[in-house]
Structure 1
Amino acid sequence: MRSERRAGRRSLPVRQARLATTAVAAAVATATVLGACGGGGGTAEAGGATAPATVPELTDEPLTLSFIWFEWPPAQALEDFANAEYTKERPNVTVEVNTVPNANWHDAMFTQFAARQTDFDIAILDSQHIGEAVTNGNIVELTEFIEGNIETDAFDPYLLAAYGQYPQAETGKRDESASMYGLPLLGDTWTMIYRKDLIGDEPPQSWDEMIAVAEQCQADNPGVSGLAFHQANGSDAAAVTYNTVNGLYGGNLWDAASRQIDGVLNDEAGHRAMDVLVNEMKPLTAAGSGNWFIDEVNAAVAQGKACIAFNWIAASGGLLDPEQSTLGATREEILDTLGFATLPTQETDLVPLGGMGMHVSAYAAAEHQAEALNFMKWFLQEDTQKKWAAAGGVPSRTDALESPEFLEAGPFNQVYADSVSRMRDMWNVPEYARLVDIENTSVNAALNGAMDPREALDTIAVEQQQILDSSGSGGL
């Protein structure tokens, strides 16, 4: 039965807006649910729901706790882990992690949010989605619940802020007086993947050195590209790549206090970063790589076609599977060939913050909201986080990050632990989806030769500034 259920929901369709009569019924149901969950509003303007200080009484009836995420290995890992471990505590509960293609992820959630009715109980949001969900009243405020049920001192403060706080904090910090709307599910950042047999055991230490090493490796190994990285015009692929290079060369995405992008993003450091990306890094990539994202980069590494690559740690586990790799017949043989390291530094040591948090849908039924709160409380306990780490997850509790269960589970896990203090996020504002679409489009165009890189960055800055100036909303 489990396999049949999964086969039937591998591609979750985006829910269309309901008929007016259904919308009225949903509104009545929502009002009832919000009352059961404490009612009121996490934000006065949005009228969002607020979770109670303790987990409400749970049902003993069969219940399916439903998540929504995008299609990648951690989604299946979460479902398998929850049904193996959470059901020991709650045998009447089945956990389902419904998935959509990454490019459809935002719209699949927010189309349902707009209809004020969701077929998921827990939305797994990118950190930058939080502002939009909060201002629209789509997710439940968890501030009081977290204070009474979560050991906040056990987490790096910035991870709590990045995956749950709104308005967002300055990079690396948390504002303990701010409201919380989510909790960490999966931490992540980029790892540098390199061919030890081609460039040696010691990874490059600076970005400039990395480019030089990749260029030499490509020249010495016909048919192998020097670099493989995300370039696609979809999700946040090309934008994250540019933002990473921007940060390493000393650039800034904006001035959050003044909400100024034009003149900040496209200053001297920003243009230098775009020049490095387009004119130094792009020539070292394979033909046809202009639309590559996670899977394509992994395929290039696994097939031995890249000297150095960059990918999200949580998506890198398959690289060690001999059935997916041409680099060795065993995990050990593959690890003799591949190395994993933190990103090289340059003017700074910044790395991209990845990962996602768990957020309770304001439109889920009361018993489902209660189960979601109970799941979060259970999931973030020390023993659960260590089991999640051993199962292939990337935990956010410091004790789990420093545990043998995590550090010995994969060769890239130490990379994540060493990268937490270096992380920088994007703009965490309700306008995020429009901002990232602008950036993806123009960065991808510059990488593919359709725009001059200087023109592309100036276009991004001007168009993003217009979005912020026209909206006038707050939040960092």
Structure 2
Amino acid sequence: MRYPKRIGRLPVPGRKVKLAMAAMLLATTMAACGGDDDGDKSGAPKAPADIPTLTNDPLTLSFIWFEWPPAKALEDFANAEYKKLRPNVTVKVNTVPNANWHDAMFTQFAARKTDFDIAILDSQHIGEAVTNGNILDITDFVKKNIDTSAYNPYLLAAYGQYPQAETGQRDENAKLYGLPLLGDTWTMIYRKDLIGEKAPQTWDEMISVAAKCQADNPGVSGLAFHQANGSDAAAVTYNTVNGVYGGNLWNAKDRKIEGVLNDAAGQEAMDVLVNKMKPLTAKGSGNWFIDEVNASVAQGKACIAFQWIAASGGLLDPKQSTLGTTREQILGKLGFATLPTQKTNLVPLGGMGMHISAYSAKANQNEALNFMKWFEQADVQKKWAAAGGVPSRTDAIQSPEFLNSSPFAKVYADSVPRMRDMWNVPEYAQLVNIENTNVNAALNGAKDPKQALDEIAKEQQKVLDASRKKGGGGL
């Protein structure tokens, strides 16, 4: 993947900003769960199966995403390639800081008026948007225009289906509200010159290798990973370790978290994260997210790091790295591998889908449908891969255009069958806020690890139980 040659900066919100964000998240999610909203509770409005006549007048098709290299890559790619088909259309990808991404979309959704036509939603945002009727139901459109057999079923489910039956599966009869835009997962980045050419194969081995590397190389930390109390940073890190050590985030069928998340496997995962992994991180890394991990790797200050693949392109830029003056020299020191296994081989599902705003003008909704149909074609997906995207079509994932595009493309291809998502429910914003706060506190020594995990399970269970009483909830 050849993203724009920059690592970028993602601000980490301060305490006051976090508190304000938490209040907004609570208000927005309560609206999704019933509240006083007088909107249509029956679900999202339907898009037509056939694309209506498109306008020949100048039109700007607006997206909303967060600030990172793929956003610029998408805008450049669409304006170069989609204009060949629709010269009257200009694509604009508006961006906001990652920490504000959810609120930037859902405050406009709550007002029933958006300045964007296509919302790029995290998989976990879909339930909230569907429950409030904020995005179009594109089930009939997909049946008529998209070859669903060309995708791994779970990627279609994760980026568009609601509700989801079970992580890793897709219900062929379920409705679809979006289509894949960018696939993603974590890659393990390791210093080949410090730990050897072969990547650690198990999580325990990885920790042992990182500890030795740290001891042997003063000034270099054994590990670098996301720990921040913002976006979903700390939560994804814990959930990844939880999955690897055989834990579960919840029992989706029974909407049960307490006693599941904090069972023996969950407690072991928290102990590994806080007491074995955290001591191998750099001093002051308790609020690290994407940029800080990238900077640590680029400056040669980490033996092993974990990062989203879609955010890793800048690591190969000699202008930003102390590891070499050429891409080849950097790759002589950096290796990229799928995550180590332990009791399971699970990896976190990242990436996002495209979803059409229910409040966009009809001409723009029509254009959005046409764009989605165009974007999901095999040849376009391969071009998107070559331009810096991470495709979701199986033929594009396995194509030379993608596999040869970066040293971590094969990591993604090999990881797709191993992916596990979080909770795809309208209450997601509250659930992730609870988990981020407590995991971050445990990592920074403000809470005992067991106490933190028990509090996460207890508070998340309260959210689901309260929603059920109000008639909310997606499963």
Match of 1:209 in 2: 205
Which of 429, 433, 448 is residue 429 of structure 2 equivalent to?
433
Does the 8 Å CA contact 2:62/2:94 hold for their aligned counterparts?
A: yes
Matched residue count? 436
Letter in 1 for 2:55: T
- Conserved in 2, the CA contact under 8 Å of 1:228 and 1:297? yes
Give the one of 173, 177, 180 matched to 1:184: 180
Q: Does 1:336 align with 2:335?
A: no
Q: Give me the whole-angstrom Cα distance separating, in 1, the residues matched to 2:43 and 2:340.
A: 45
Q: SS at 2:211's partner residue?
A: helix
In structure 2, give the amino acid aligned to 1:278.
V
Q: Tell me the distance in 2 between the aligned counterparts of 1:81 and 1:96.
A: 11
Q: How many angstroms apart in 2 are the aligned matches of 1:207 and 1:377?
A: 41
Asked if the contact 1:46–1:134 (Cα under 8 Å) also holds between the matched residues in 2, the reply is: no
> Which residue is equivalent to 2:218?
222
Kindly tell me: are residues 125 and 394 of structure 1, through their superposed partners in 2, closer, same or farther at Cα, counting changes over 3 Å?
Answer: same
CA contact (8 A) 2:59 2:89 kept: yes
Match among 461, 466, 469 for residue 465 of structure 1: 461
Q: Provide the C-alpha distance between the structure 2 equivalents of 1:446 and 1:103, rounded to a whole number of angstroms.
A: 21
How far apart, in 1, do the equivalents of 2:42 and 2:352 lie? 23
Match of 1:407 in 2: 403
Residues 54-453 of structure 1: pairs in structure 2 closer than 5 A: 54-453=50-449
- Structure 1 residue 125: Cα displacement: 0.2
- CA distance, structure 2, for counterparts of residue 283 and residue 390 of structure 1: 39
Q: Deviations over 1:262-307 (max 9, x none)?
A: 0000000000000000000000000010000000000000000000
TM-score calculated relative to the size of structure 1:
0.91
| Structure 2 residue ranges without an equivalent (≥5) | 1-9, 12-38
| C-alpha distance in 2 between matches for 1:474 and 1:454 | 28
| Residue aligned with 2:60, SS | strand
1:47: Cα distance to partner? 4.8
Aligned with 1:99: secondary structure?
A: strand
Output the CA distance in 1 between the equivalents of 2:134 and 2:403.
36
Letter in 2 for 1:459: E
Q: Deviations over 1:106-128 (max 9, x none)?
A: 00000000000000000000000
Partner SS state of residue 260, structure 1: coil
Task: Provide TM-score, normalisation by structure 2.
Answer: 0.91
The AA in structure 1 aligned to 2:84 is K
Deviation at residue 460 of structure 1 after TM alignment: 0.2
Question: C-alpha separation between the residues in 2 aligned to 1:173 and 1:104?
Answer: 30
Structure 1 residues 43-52 or 386-395, which shifts more?
Answer: 43-52
Task: Please identify, of 397-406 and 49-58, the stretch whose mean Cα deviation from structure 2 is larger.
Answer: 49-58
Aligned partners of 2:40 and 2:133 also within 8 Å: no
Distance 1:242 1:308 in 2: 17
Structure 1: distance between partners of 2:65 and 2:42: 24
Greater than 4 Å deviation, 4+ residue runs: none
Find the residue that maps to 1:65 and give its secondary structure: strand
Q: Distance in 2 between the 1:226 and 1:241 partners?
A: 16
Give the partner amino acid of 2:165: A
Structure-2 separation of matches of 1:55 and 1:320: 41
| Deviation digits for residues 328-361 of structure 1 (CA, Å, limit 9, x no counterpart) | 1111111000000000000000000000000000
User: Partner of 2:46 in structure 1?
Assistant: 50
> Partner residue of 2:474?
475
**Structure 1 residue 46: deviation in Å?**
3.7
The offset of 1:220, in angstroms, is 0.2
Cα drift, residue 69 of structure 1: 0.2
What is the rounded CA distance, in whole Å, between the counterparts of 1:144 and 1:307 in structure 2? Answer: 49
Report the 3-state secondary structure (helix = DSSP H, G, I; strand = E; otherwise coil) of the residue aligned with 2:229: coil
The separation in 2 between residues aligned to 1:337 and 1:63, in whole angstroms, is 47
1:262 counterpart letter in structure 2: E
3-state secondary structure, aligned to 1:227? strand
The amino acid that maps onto 2:140 is: E
CA distance in 2, matches of 1:263, 1:153: 38
| Aligned-partner Cα distance in 1 for 2:460–2:49 | 39
Amino acid at match of 1:298: N
SS at match of 1:363: coil
Deviations 1:414-453 (A, max 9, x none): 0000000000000000000000000000000000000000
Distance between the aligned counterparts of 2:127 and 2:318, measured in 1?
Answer: 41
SS of structure 2 residue aligned to 1:64: strand
Looking at structure 2, the residues matched to 209 and 48 of structure 1 have their Cα atoms a distance apart, in angstroms, of 47
Q: CA deviation at 1:44?
A: 6.9
| Cα distance per residue 1:110-149 (max 9 Å; x no partner) | 0000000000000000000000000000000000000000
**Cα separation, 1, equivalents of 2:92 and 2:430:** 30
Residues 318 and 330 of structure 2 are in contact (CA less than 8 Å); yes or no, is this contact kept in structure 1?
yes
Q: Which ranges of structure 1 fall in alignment gaps of 5 or more residues?
A: 1-9, 12-42
Deviates more, 1:419-428 or 1:169-178: 169-178
Report if the CA contact (8 A) 2:464-2:473 is conserved.
Answer: no
Q: Indicate if the aligned counterparts of 2:40 and 2:132 stay in contact, CA closer than 8 A.
A: no
Report 1 or 2 for greater relative contact order, CA contacts < 8 Å, sequence distance ≥ 6: 2
